[in-house]
Amino acid sequence: MDNRLYGHSLGLLTDLYQLTMAYGYWKSGKAEQEAVFNLYFRKNPFEGGFTIACGLATVLNYIRGYRFTDEDLAYLRTLPGNDHRPLFEPAFLEYLGALSLTISIEAVPEGTAVFPNEPLLRVRGSILQCQLLETALLTLINFESLIATKAARIRLAAETDTILEFGLRRAQGIDGGVTASRAAYIGGVDATSNVLAGKLYNIPVRGTHAHSWVMSFDTELEAFQTYAEVQPNNATFLVDTYNTLDGVRHAIEAGRTLRERGYKLSGIRLDSGDLAYLSIEARRLLDEAGFADAGIVASNDLDEYLVTSLKQQGAKINIWGIGTRLVTAYDQPALGGVYKLAAIRTPKGWEYKLKLSEQTAKVSNPGIQQVRRFRDERGFVADMIYDAERPPKAAPQMIDPLDFTRRRRFGADVEFEDLLVPVLENGQQTYVCPPIHSVRQRVQEQLRGFHPGIRRFTNPHTYPVGLEEQLHQLKTELVLHLRNTA
């Protein structure tokens, strides 16, 4: 959350049950018990082969401003239980009012390609504080990672073409629009039409005019010529208000006037109709008139599949305006990340926890988790989740959690990196978030490091992710114990 956008406390940005559990921990004397929670997701979005981690800078900004104001506490005093008595006693609300976060967080840097069941955040501290943060951390990480992933897919489809994000008017509210613009830029778009996002996050902004500009004049040519007079250094004309190819011809006339004044025709925009055919014809008209460097922008509910299809049809589009289907993640509205308790500190040491399920894929992983990514001369080859309290042995073995017969051993000399890095220690930020432009570049560097099969849209290759042998054995023992005692 950017403090310039939100001028009030966000302590109540949570579900009620987080507060009732916090009250329960406080009331039962468990508030300060040390715990570890892992935030992860179970399935890549869009039926894809990867996900882009995004939202860490927003999380750290949110945590820096975390507090319960007097106004927040006054509201909580009004909440009744089923007996119509106050839900929380005054002493607990006083406790919240004096609360200062002392948690520690390790996280995957923004712009990293990640995969199901890998922790994106590992939160450690008092169980009460960890619990209070669950909902906010999920909403911040889930949405930005979802949109960054969608943008990365569109970037793959558009290849080296320019991509403009046009989604604010169709976004899910103010925050949905501003946050989506940030995440989309990280994922790979080149600029946004969202001026507030441009200001807040230093994202390039682009835009020209709408149909209403053309309709407000007696003729389309007059509209284009007037726009060229007032915006000669931003002359891209929307040509499909009436007849698209006539609109291209009128844009060419306005372009000639611009040229006489020492400016150039930036391009035209197509927003309806057969974009492949119209772009080919528009390119021919522009080239014949001597405007070979004028761009052709296309919009109209585009996504990675339509961009791919248009390219296959030979469309002459080199600038893609992507709106609704990007900022709303149209074909998958949520990432589905979860936040699970993985360990609790007891007088005897760490006691590891997991959630059982009738579905094997939903059985959580225990432990104080870290992710080790291995690579060879060709790029990234596999990720191994291990327990930081039990570091991997030399030449570790990785086991597929869904099929224990699938195993892979890594030589002691194989290159690797651990993905989770310290970002918060005892409530104090220790990590310097890189500039948004560097994060955007990291996405593309990451994706180039994987086999092309991971990046394809249809039936992508499944990137190998498994549990280190010791962690797999620990999980198996816990599952068997819980099934026998439940």
Residue 109, in any domain of the structure: no
Q: How confident is the model at residue 357 (pLDDT cuts 50, 70, 90)?
A: confident
Residue 118, in any domain of the structure: no
Q: How confident is the model at residue 185 (pLDDT cuts 50, 70, 90)?
A: very high
Residue 324, in any domain of the structure: no
Smallest CA-to-CA distance from 470 within 373, 363, 416, 391 is with 391
Contact 383, 425 (CB under 8 A): no
Residue 411, in any domain of the structure: no
For the cut 60, the answer to whether the pLDDT of residue 1 exceeds it is: no
Q: pLDDT of 158-182, one tens digit each?
A: 999 999 999 999 999 999 999 999 9
Give the model's pLDDT for residue 484.
Answer: 85
Residue 281, in any domain of the structure: yes
Label residue 237 left, alpha or beta by phi (over 0 means left) and psi (-120 to 50 means alpha): beta
Residue 226, in any domain of the structure: yes
Q: Per-residue pLDDT averaged across 330-351, rounded? A: 95
The tally of CA atoms less than 13 A away on the side-chain side of residue 436 is 24
Q: pLDDT of 85-131, one tens digit each?
A: 999 999 999 999 999 999 999 999 999 999 999 999 999 999 999 99
Q: Are strands 236-238 and 104-107 parallel, antiparallel or unpaired?
A: unpaired
For the cut 60, the answer to whether the pLDDT of residue 3 exceeds it is: no
CATH code of the domain covering residue 240:
3.20.20.70
The fraction of the chain above a pLDDT of 90, given in percent, is 93
Smallest CA-to-CA distance from 50 within 59, 41, 63, 38 is with 41
Q: Mean pLDDT, the chain, as a whole number?
A: 95
Residue 456, in any domain of the structure: no
Residue 361, in any domain of the structure: no
Contact 375, 385 (CB under 8 A): no
Distance of CA 199 to the CA centre of its chain: 20
Instruction: Name, in order, each residue with C-beta under 8 angstroms of 118's C-beta and a sequence gap of 6 or more.
Output: 40, 108, 371, 383, 385, 419, 465
Q: pLDDT of 252-295, one tens digit each?
A: 999 999 999 999 999 999 999 999 999 999 999 999 999 999 99
- Give residue 339's identity as a one-letter amino acid code: Y
Q: How confident is the model at residue 2 (pLDDT cuts 50, 70, 90)?
A: low
CA distance 224 to 240: 12
Give the model's pLDDT for residue 405.
Answer: 87
Total tally of structural domains belonging to the chain: 1
Phi, psi (degrees; rounded to nearest 5) at 455: -90, -15
Judged on CB neighbours under 10 Å (0-12, 13-18, 19+), 244 is buried
- At which residue do the structure tokens 């007059």 appear? 222
Domain that holds residue 308: 208-314
Contact 186, 163 (CB under 8 A): no
SS3 labels along the chain: CCCCCCCCCCCCCCCHHHHHHHHHHHHCCCCCCEEEEEEECCCCHHHCCCEECCCHHHHHHHHHCCCCCHHHHHHHHCCECCCCCECCCHHHHHHHHCCCCCCEEEECCCCCEECCCCCCEEEEEEHHHHHHHHHHHHHHHHHHHHHHHHHHHHHHHHCCCEEEECCHHHCCHHHHHHHHHHHHHHHCCCEECCHHHHHHHCCCECCCCCHHHHHCCCCHHHHHHHHHHHCCCCCEEECCCCCHHHHHHHHHHHHHHHHHCCCCCCEEEECCCCHHHHHHHHHHHHHHCCCCCCEEEECCCCCHHHHHHHHHCCCCCCEEEECHHHHCCCCCCCCCCEEEEEEEEECCEEEECCCCCCCHHHCCCCCCEEEEEEEECCEEEEEEEEECCCCCCCCCEEEECCEEEEEEECCCCCEEEECCEEEEECCEECCCCCCHHHHHHHHHHHHHCCCHHHHCCCCCCCCCEEEEHHHHHHHHHHHHHHHHHC
Q: pLDDT of 213-223, one tens digit each?
A: 999 999 999 99
